[in-house]
Amino acid sequence: MKKFAIAGTSSQFYDWMRNNGRSHTDWIYVSGLDTIRGCSNPHGMFIGTWYERPDMLEVVHMLRLCTHIKNEKLDEVFQVFMNYRLGLEG
């Protein structure tokens, strides 16, 4: 099964792949909403400065639309993102 990587930049994604011995056959970089649009219950990882992406709110909303089961990790990700945007890091 393909997994999705949501990173702050494509450079962070490629560095993570190289440093962790990951393969393009298993991981897809989420460069935008179209990468995950239409997926059902996507799995993956958030890497680097993902919370700084200008499209992150839309990405989280798309993940929620694609996820048909309760996903506490996604709720945590949304909270981290909102805390960052509101200046409540930490």
Q: Does 14 score more than 70 pLDDT? A: yes
73 domain residue, yes or no: yes
Residue 90, in any domain of the structure: no
The answer to whether 60 and 84 are in contact (CB under 8 A) is no
Q: Is residue 52 part of a domain?
A: yes
Using CA atoms, how far apart are residues 1 and 25, in angstroms rounded to an integer? 9
Q: Is the separation of the CB atoms in 40 and 66 below 8 Å?
A: yes
Q: Is residue 71 part of a domain?
A: yes
Can you list the positions of beta strands (E) in 1-90?
Answer: 3-7, 27-29, 44-47
pTM equals 0.82
pLDDT of residue 49: 96
Higher-confidence residue: 69 or 21?
21
pLDDT at position 31 over 70: yes
Residue 77 pLDDT exceeds 90: no
* 72 falls within a domain: yes
Q: Which domain holds residue 72?
A: 3-85
Report yes or no on 22 lying in a domain.
Answer: yes
**Which pair of structure tokens corresponds to residue 16?**
């993570």
Number of domains the chain contains:
1
Residue 33 CA, distance from chain mean position: 10
